[in-house]
């Protein structure tokens, strides 16, 4: 058993920036436990096998170091939840407890 507790879910949710509710802690702890039980079967794989992180037959892709056009500012800001003076407007970054 993976034994994912409510506290574990709360911790993961904090790391993942998800303000989960109390109800979700209950539901997710059971579900994550069941999922981890299933996927945990990979632990049987022999440690000597080398890992494969991707299968693209490519190691690096370079392009000429030339100026090419990119999105203009207006287009880049068009979908922003809040913009001000040609920039993304964001909430305060530092918490008061710091």
Partner 1 sequence: MSSPDAELTRLDAAEIARRVQAREVSSVDVTRAHLARIDAVDGAEGGGLGAFLHVAAEQALATAAEIDAEIAAGTVRGPLAGVPVAIKDNMATRDMPTTCASRILEGWRPPYDATAVRRLREAGLVPLGKTNLDEFAMGGSNENSAYGIVRNPWDPSRVPGGSSGGSAAATAAGETPLAIGSDTGGSIRQPGAFTGTVGCKPTYGTVSRYGLVAFSSSLDQIGPFGRTVLDAAMLHEVIGGHDPCDQTSIDAPLPPVVEAALAGARGDLTGVRVGVVTELSGEGYQTGVLSAFTDAVRVLTDLGAEVVEVSCPSFTSAMPAYYIIAPSEASSNLARFDAMRYGLRVGDDGSHSTDEVMSLTREAGFGPEVKRRIMIGTHALSAGSYDALYGKALKARTLVVRDFAAAFEQCDVLVSPTVPTTAFPIGDRVDDPVAMYLADLCTIPANLAGTAGLSVPCGRAPEDGMPVGLQVMTPALADDRAYRVAAAYETARDSAAGAPFASTIPDPADLDGRAPLRSVSTLQGAS
* Phi, psi dihedrals of residue 52, rounded to the nearest 5°: -125, 110
User: Pick from 5, 7, 40, 84: which binds partner 1 (CB under 8 A)?
Assistant: 40
User: Pick from 3, 45, 66, 86: which binds partner 1 (CB under 8 A)?
Assistant: 45
Q: How many residues bind partner 1 (CB under 8 A)?
A: 58
- Separation CA 27–CA 73 (nearest Å): 43
Q: Which is nearer to partner 1, 7 or 78 (CB)?
A: 78
In terms of Cβ atoms closer than 10 Å to its own Cβ (0-12, 13-18, 19+), residue 13 is middle
Query: What residues contact 62, with CB distance under 8 A and at least 6 apart?
Result: none
User: Pick from 67, 71, 85, 86: which binds partner 1 (CB under 8 A)?
Assistant: 71
Q: In angstroms, what is the minimal distance from the CB of 89 to partner 1?
A: 9
* Phi, psi dihedrals of residue 84, rounded to the nearest 5°: -150, 130
List contacts with partner 1 (CB under 8 A).
4, 8-9, 12-21, 24, 27-28, 31-32, 34-36, 38-47, 49-58, 61, 63, 71, 75-76, 78-82, 88, 90-95
């Amino acid at each position: 058993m993976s034994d994912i507790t409510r506290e574990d879910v709360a911790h993961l949710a904090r790391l993942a920036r998800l303000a989960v509710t109390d109800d979700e802690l209950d539901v997710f702890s059971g579900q994550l436990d069941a999922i981890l039980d299933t996927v945990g079967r990979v632990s049987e794989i022999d440690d000597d096998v080398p890992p494969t992180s991707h299968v693209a037959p490519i190691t690096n892709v370079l392009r000429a170091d030339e100026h090419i056009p990119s999105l203009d500012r207006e287009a880049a800001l068009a979908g922003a939840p809040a913009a001000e003076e040609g920039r993304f407007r964001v909430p305060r970054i530092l918490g008061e407890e710091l």
